[in-house]
Amino acid sequence: MPLMGIEIPEQIAGFLENITGRVRIMVVGRPDTGKSTLAFLLASWLQDRGRTCAVVDCDIGQADIGPPGFVSYGLINQSAPVANMRADSMSWGGSRPGTERIEGSSLARRSISRTGSYLVGDVSPYGRGDARLLAMVAGASACVEAAERDGAEAVVVDTTGLALFSEGIRLKCAKADAVRPDVVVLLSPVSGGRNSAEEVLGHLLEAQGHNVLRVPASAEARKRSPEERRENRIRQWNRYLEKSSLHRLDLGKVHVFRWWADSGFLVRTEESSQSSLPAQDTGAHGHLPVPPAGANAGAPYVGLVLPAAARSVSHGTVVAIPDPHLRGLHIPGIWVTDELGPGILAALPPQHKIETVWVTSYQTLISRGRVMSG
């Protein structure tokens, strides 16, 4: 049943009540300011008012819906067992002394299941030049569109924390232009000044034509330690793996690619495909080797990973499989190896045949089907 009696900031409620038809909302702010909590409260508030609602979780490092390293989305399940929550516990920042604090991740686990995911390939969107930023933007756009195809009348996009000034602002501006939200909810710390990242971002988003509502960060938000963040990543991976099974790979029939947003491409030339030469790894800077004779001049040549190289993929590597039911999205997985050869732990549809695997540089420590570190 829907959550009842949810309280959210008045300026947001007033804005949303005047919108008819489909609505898209994007929540941005620094880490540990209550973004996820507010995003899930907004989704539940909209669902409570009769709109089928989805949440797109772009916080790849502190994921709530899918495993880390992926942008994921899911629709709110109205039959989720959340009716025992008190109405006053669902307010933004706590409306009464001593009210119970409900975190976004807890609400997500109770009311939302992962429907689809898009691979980013790491737990931070920063680094590797702009490649991860591009993957974050592509993933957000793809998941929003998929959620609406699934019937969502309202989509709330929960973003990564505004951790780095320039890169964070660039990512949020690009994501807003890709998602085209009806409103951007910008959480601002009380101590923020005129030149704070939030103020700069807010002015830039308005210059891009976006509606920006500035809301104070939650007074109840608590800064999480690096240890807590690591534990949450492990918990999210194992939550996903509960519904996963091991699928063996025939490397002679499976196409293995290095993910395009990763550090480099594993490639082969036509000559190497007919010999025992190992696949070439372009290294950290993404420079491709000299293309084979006859290739277009100046065009990067990217081929399949040779079976011999694929066998050397490390146990615990995060991978993705194209989703057969959601075009452009992916099924998360972890590459495992044992005496029987390589396989992938993933929540695949029944009878699905693996034909393509995207390999990343994101590593986990996995033992007996459970992630111990990652």
Q: In this structure, what CATH number is given to the domain that contains residue 33?
A: 3.40.50.300
Q: Is the pLDDT of residue 300 over 70?
A: no
Q: Is the pLDDT of residue 277 over 70?
A: no
Q: Is the pLDDT of residue 69 over 90?
A: yes
pLDDT at 102: 53
Distance CA 28, CA 202 (A): 10
Which of 201, 224, 241 is a domain's end point? 241
User: What's the domain range around 367?
Assistant: 245-373
DSSP 76: B
pLDDT tens column, 195-251:
788 999 999 999 999 999 999 887 777 788 999 999 999 999 999 999 999 999 998
Please check whether residue 1 lies inside any domain of the structure.
no
Tokens of 133: 């930023």
300 and 339 assigned to the same domain: yes
105 and 204 assigned to the same domain: yes
| Number of domain units in the chain | 2
Measure the CA angle with vertex 134, ends 129 and 135; round to 5°. Answer: 110
Q: Rounded to 5, what percent of the chain is helix, strand, coil?
A: 25, 25, 50
33 and 150 assigned to the same domain: yes
Q: What pTM does this model have?
A: 0.84
**109: confidence class by pLDDT, cuts 50, 70, 90:** low
Distance CA 109, CA 64 (A): 7
Distance CA 130, CA 114 (A): 27
Please check whether residue 103 lies inside any domain of the structure.
yes
**371: confidence class by pLDDT, cuts 50, 70, 90:** very high
Q: What are phi and psi of 5, to 5 degrees?
A: 75, 25
Please check whether residue 141 lies inside any domain of the structure.
yes
Please check whether residue 181 lies inside any domain of the structure.
yes
66 and 129 assigned to the same domain: yes
182 and 300 assigned to the same domain: no
> Tell me, what amino acid is at 139?
G
**Own/partner pairs, 127-133, CB within 8 angstroms, 24+ separation:** 128/261, 128/262, 128/263, 128/286, 129/286, 131/260, 131/261, 131/262, 131/286, 132/261, 133/167, 133/170, 133/171, 133/174
